[in-house]
Structure 1
Amino acid sequence: MAKHLITGKQGELLAKQFMEAQGYEILEENWVTGKAEVDLIAFKDNKIVFVEVKTRSQTNFGEPEDFVHPAKQRLLQFAAEEYIHLMDFNNEIRFDIIAIVFKENIPVIKHIEDAFWPDI
């Protein structure tokens, strides 16, 4: 497996563990609908949180969260709409980013709540 794929999988596992440690219940991992995938779908305080995980081994080209472009946000919006419809969920939702950078093989985790808000 390519190094960047391994780094990404490590990041997703760390993000899941981080969210659980913060009291979130993980509802789904790598949930796919159509062309959209959500890394984590979590639940806390009667709110569903759609989480995009971005992991980098260095930041020479920008912070991990800088790579959640509008096109990706639209895909996450589409997935969120599908998910809340399937689950018949009528309460609040949120879009978060978990940005992870491995500095000298030590992960630094940044949780950005309400990272963006697409038109739902």
Structure 2
Amino acid sequence: MNTVQTGDIGEQAATDYLLRAGYDIIERKYRSKIGEVDIIARIKNTIVFIEVKTRRNTNYGFPAEAVTYRKQKKIINTALCYLQQIHNSNMSCRFDVIEVFLTENNKITYNHITNAFIK
């Protein structure tokens, strides 16, 4: 299984996790000229921009460590494009990271980091 397939499995697992937790999924793989946001969801009155990082092991560090400052800035700017697109740049929002761990026996575990970084 290549990294794209692993990432797709992780994003689907994260979507399922969010739905079970009461989130409404607005968009998946939202793209703008600036970048991409894996999942845009809503919980209560907050729009949540979510980066999903999936790993089979921690040999190269924890998944959230791959969300560097540069990646955060790209996500923030993409989120601003989205908010302008829906004509609601004053809506409450936050940025989360969901770490998805795939084990050898096909068990999936999650680490949902809310407010992982700020605008």
Q: TM-score range by the shorter chain?
A: over 0.9
Query: Deviation above 2 Å: which 4+ runs of structure 1?
Result: none
Counterpart residue identity of residue 73, structure 2? R
What TM-score do the two structures reach when normalised by structure 2?
0.94
What's the Cα RMSD here?
1.0
8 Å contact from structure 2 (residues 34, 77) kept in 1? no
For the pair 1:55 / 2:54, whether they are aligned, the reply is yes
Instruction: State the number of aligned residues.
Output: 117
Q: Percent identity?
A: 37
Q: Please report how far the alpha carbon of residue 55 of structure 1 lies from its aligned counterpart in structure 2 after TM superposition.
A: 0.2
Consecutive unaligned residues of structure 1, counting only runs of 5 or more, are: none
Counterpart residue identity of residue 79, structure 2? A
Consecutive unaligned residues of structure 2, counting only runs of 5 or more, are: none
Distance 1:67-1:40 versus aligned 2 partners, 3 A rule: same
Equivalent in the alignment of 1:78:
77
Equivalent in the alignment of 1:99:
99
- Mapping of residues 1-120 of structure 1, within 5 Å: 3-89=2-88, 90-104=90-104, 105-118=106-119
What TM-score do the two structures reach when normalised by structure 1?
0.93
